[in-house]
Amino acid sequence: MNDPLHQHSLNPSTSTVEQDVDFEGNFNLHSDKPELKAETELAYRLLSSLPRARLASIQRRIAPLLQFDVVASLPPEVSLQIFSYLPFQTLLTCTLVCRRWQILANDQALWRTLCHERGWRWKQPPQTAMLQSPSRFELMDADDEGMGDSDEGESDLDHESADELPEDIESAKARLTQMQMQLDSELHGNPFFANVLRIYSTNSLFPGMSTYKTRVHTSVPSYLKRVHCHYFPKPDYKLLHQTHVKLRNRFLASAYRLSALQTRGSPTDGHTNTIYCLQLYTYPTTGKQVLFTGSRDKTIREWNLTTGAVERVISGVHSGSILSLCAHGGYLASAGSDRRVVVWDLDSDTLVKTISDHEDSVLCVRFDDKKLVSCSKDRTVRIYSFPDLDASHVLRAHRAAVNAVSISGAYIASASGDRSVRLWDATTGSLLRTFDKHHSRGIASIDFALPMVLTGSSDKHIRIFDVTTLKGWSTSPEYDDFPETSNDVLPLALPSSSSCSSFICQTCGSNNVDPLPIPQHIKRPDMRCVHTDLVRTVALDDDFVLSGSYDLSIKVWDRRTGSLIADLTGGHTGRILCIGFDSKKIVSCGEDQIKLPGLERLDEQSKGNYASTAHPRLLFLPSSDMSFLKVEGTKIVDSNGHEVILRGAGLGGWMCMENFISGFPGCEYQVREALEEVIGKEKSEFFFDRFLYHFFGDKDAEFFKSLGLNCIRIAVGYRHFEGEFANDMNPRVLKADAFNHLDRAIAACAAHSIYTVIDMHTAPGGQSGGWHADGGTHLANFWRHKDFQDRLLFIWENIADRYKDNPWVAGYNVLNEPADPHPQHANLVNFYDRAYATIRAKDPNHILFFDGNTFAIDFSKFPDDVLTRWPNSSYSIHDYATFGFPASPELYEGTDKQKAEMKRVYQRKRKWADDKGLCVWNGEWGPVYGRQEYDGDQTEEINKRRYMVLKDQLEIYKQDRLSWSIWLYKDIGFQGMVHVSRETPYMKRFGEFLRRKHRLAVDAWGKDDKDVRHIYKPISEHIRQDVVQDKSKLLLYPPVWSVEERTTRLCRTMLVAEFLVMEWADLFKGLNEAELEELAESFSFDNCLKREGLNEALRNHAQE
């Protein structure tokens, strides 16, 4: 009876199946007994005698007996202990296994532990009437920044000398409920998460709720009052965890929308001078979030974030610039260049106290429930008790101006122009640690959330490290080692009661908590991604680090890895002075101002002037009203069913460089290969990277939006994502920097509310014989080798996975201008089937745009069931009008006959889609234009006719409410909305080469070949007369290529171009990186000219 198996069999609660199955799911050795062998043989014979149908039925019945759920068989507390070791993604997967696992994986204890490890608490808010007195506070967060300039306009920074907030129960429940509802789309892009969210809908938890509040992380702290109430809603820690994860994923998606707080009333409501400081704040009693700003105009303003109105102005308390603000618990503290610290009671709107102890400008002020801390240009830090504001300590260890302070629990961190960070005990005033030479220049800003210290400096870098382990990261390799301290680089041993952040990753010092996962595509940025000027303001939370700089940019970093998540530019035209953020937005202020007309004084001296008012900028993450576009019938609509007409342009030769756009001959891979041979791999990669950087940026997006346009089609080449440009020897391996520039472009567009369509412009082997397919041959080998197609699907899988949660991506243009020679287009249809399945497996939301065959004009062999076969798809035509090109059979005069012909061709291209009730998108169209240097006196007349073609096409599209994307946005002067100036270094250096290339008519696109026609015409005539006997065989595929066109493609764009490639590359010989940078910068928006006639026509047709 000592046999444990025998003991197990005596347990009456154990099933027969459990007796004969061990914990590895294998049959037990009881089966070797003679009686069992006989029974087994008998059962086998009986089964063998039964019909197949009966056997199948028996198999279904006994299948459950052969399965054994080890976890479910254990006591619940043991099962939960096993599940407690799983990350949250695995727990979510477990909910789909079976009902028992679903119950276990949804246990609140598991999710409570996960939330507490991250410091996410389920707050039990009180009824408003039950709030305790304001004297009892709980410190929740401390996000600090540095100070502003003095009245005299000179920086007070010494560079070289060195919420959770209370609310009633119903509001609290509603906030979390609405947060979940608003963010569901973040996970609905994944079918698995969609199933989970359907099971655990917040509507069933908190019905009837409508208000919503988020935790705030700003450059200054936010706090929560301790409260009591008679009733607490039951916590849902799984909902809490999912909500935080989704909020974090929105930051990772880098989809931002730029806005400026504009006053709805009089323009005088805004500040009249530079805004130096700001803080997001939520009132404890109402849950209303506002923004406080302090300015050089000596006033503090309170902004309503919903209406943009200024609701309170505090003035007369400072006689100088207001350099720093801090608000919580119904109080507001301000510090100024007048040497004062002022504390204001927000509820009663009265002054509490003015402190004038500092001997120079007060650069920063912070306070919590027990203490107020200020620092000054007088090199001191002063501590006061709170709320009585009695002086406690004066800290004098710094050797230069103390630019910023930050509070975290019982500790204070200070940053100075003497390049040091000092850590203080707030209770005793004793100096705990000095981190000397923490930066190579003065430190401008600091944020401190135990145990992490984050700093920004005039050396252009940021640095974050753990004071208990001295581990962290920086944007400069020289700071990756331990900081030099006055205590032999010893880490600080904090008491166990210290209110340290519960989430510290291994990179920053500990691995006791599993951090939230970082997508594989995020990597540490190279040196070209760091700030290029003083870092004036920093802020951090558990997941992100934000930095704002005099270089006019705000950067979002991953706190754990130091990876750059977002590079936000264009929000400011002056130096950035302060930033703050919460889960939905980033707010910033700077030296720029908005000019508002309408306040002209009546005297002649001032007549015509503008009143100068300053407003904060807001960068919003995708908000509740942001949703994926979709196809509904023949229209593109938003989530509310409102029609959205996409009007915009193709970006052009950017991540797919076409010869006529950028000025080189041949294909992109050829010029990259040649340039690498001439100047080396490192310099070549540097030039092309800088070219991509300058070609499209925030100023481009801002200008594009100013025309009223709302969509950019971004052409990308497959070589930018996998392998090497010069060859295909590394297939199906994603480049480490594959998405760097594409991410940046999409984010810049999103910041200006511009949708993007990702257009796969080239495919392995070439999807057509055109130069733009980057295949180097007139043969479309993509259709001849399945492996080429598999590789493109690999790329699409990664693209879809990356952007599946980004609603500013309107969709994916699966393949540009395919040319499948199969008579039934079988290769193309089969590839579209596979592409649809591949993309939808990762991304069920975005629209797919399918080009017709033969350069997006032929849908005749597409399947009849596309409506159900490829739902949520649109069909792309390319409607280039012959009248818009030099090859036009007649001069365009805009006659009724000519207009009718253009419309007839357009309608023929879309007829197949119209007959089936499908959505049509015009992915490319537009004339080419004359250039003075080539067309001389005829330029104006040529362009006058081309603009007529443009406008008449727009009128046709307007009648059909057609979405369209003109080709193209930017080039060197042939077709773009903007084009590179002839006075730039690039155009000057390559001017003669471009003129020679033009005379040789190497580029086929829209080029008048009059200078070389006599050379190639005999070849075409030879083929017609001597080579092809059967004249019906003259027209090969693609049929749009006549004999003359085929001769052009092979002889000019390929053969002649091949010989010119090295000549183009040789012009780079001897150039250093600074000179290469100048050439690349020639393509920046500031170095481009606008084609006003084209832009005016687009502006006039961009609106309804």
Name the pTM for this structure: 0.60
- Residue 99, both tokens: 């009902």
Identify which has the larger pLDDT, 191 or 673.
673
pLDDT confidence of residue 272: 87
**Rounded CA separation 105/92 (Å):** 7
**Percent of the chain residues past pLDDT 70, beyond the cut:** 77
* CATH number 3.40.50.300 given to 397-478+528-574: no
- Residues 266-273: what's their mean pLDDT? 71
CB of 873 within 8 A of CB of 845?
no
Long-range contacts of 516-519 (CB under 8 A, 24+ apart): 516/118, 516/245, 516/248, 516/543, 517/87, 517/89, 518/558, 518/560, 518/561, 518/563, 519/252, 519/802
Give 751: exposed, middle or buried? Use CB within 10 Å, 0-12, 13-18, 19+.
buried
516: closest CA among 314, 247, 719?
247
Q: Is 90 exceeded by the pLDDT of residue 55?
A: no
The per-residue pLDDT for range 499-542, each reduced to its tens digit, is 333 333 322 333 333 444 444 433 444 444 789 999 999 999 88
Q: What pLDDT score was predicted for residue 166?
A: 37
Out of 138-147, 205-214, 637-646, 869-878, the most confident range is: 869-878
Angle at 1087 between CA 1081 and CA 1090, to 5 degrees: 140
Q: What is the pLDDT of residue 726?
A: 59
| pLDDT at 488 > cutoff 70 | no
Q: What is the mean pLDDT of residues 560-577?
A: 83
> For the segment 899-946, what is each residue's pLDDT rounded down to a tens digit?
999 999 999 999 999 999 999 999 999 999 999 888 899 999 999 999
pLDDT for 194: 34
Helix (H, G, I), strand (E, B) or coil at 952: helix
Least confident stretch, 15-19, 402-406, 603-607, 787-791: 603-607
Element (H, E) at 237: helix 237-253
pLDDT cut 90: percent of the chain above it: 55
Q: Decide: helix, strand or coil at residue 324.
A: strand
Going by C-alpha positions, the residue among 538, 543, 555 that lies closest to residue 519 is 543
Cα dist from 400 to 327, 378, 413, 577, 903, whole Å: 27, 8, 15, 21, 74
Is the Cβ–Cβ distance between 551 and 532 less than 8 Å?
A: yes
Average pLDDT of the residues in 461-474: 91
Calculate the average pLDDT of the chain.
Answer: 81
Domain boundaries, given as residue ranges, for the chain: 71-119+237-256, 397-478+528-574, 644-1098
With CA atoms as reference, report the closest residue to 147 among 88, 219, 91. Answer: 219
Burial 500-520 (b: 16+ CB within 10 A, else e): bbebbbebbbbeebebbebee
Please report which confidence band the pLDDT of residue 123 belongs to, taking 50, 70 and 90 as the band edges: low
- Hey, what are 695's tokens? 């070609």
Q: Strands (DSSP E) along 793-867, which ranges?
A: 809-813, 847-851
Class of domain 71-119+237-256: mainly alpha
Q: How confident is the model at residue 179 (pLDDT cuts 50, 70, 90)?
A: very low
pLDDT in tens, 137-168: 333 333 333 344 444 444 445 444 333 333 44
- What are 674's two structure tokens? 């040649």
Rounded distance between C-alpha atoms, residue 947 and residue 495, angstroms = 74
- CB-CB contact of 1077 with 689 (8 Å): no
Q: What is the pLDDT of residue 480?
A: 60
pLDDT, one tens digit per residue, over 859-869 is: 999 999 999 99
Provide the annotated active-site residues: 817, 924
| Listed residue (808, 812, 967) closest to 881, CA to CA | 967
* 644-1098 topology per CATH: TIM Barrel (3.20.20)
Residue type, 1059: F
Which among 408, 432, 410 has a CA at the least distance from the CA of 421? 432
Whether the predicted pLDDT of 486 surpasses 90: no
Taking only the tens place, the pLDDT of each residue in 777-808 is 889 999 999 999 999 999 999 999 999 988 99
| Reported confidence tier of residue 255, pLDDT bands at 50, 70, 90 | low
Closest-CA residue to 568 (of 182, 811, 251, 220): 251
Is there a contact between 269 and 295 (Cβ–Cβ < 8 Å)?
no
Is residue 720 pLDDT above 80, yes or no?
A: yes
Does 881 score more than 60 pLDDT?
Answer: yes
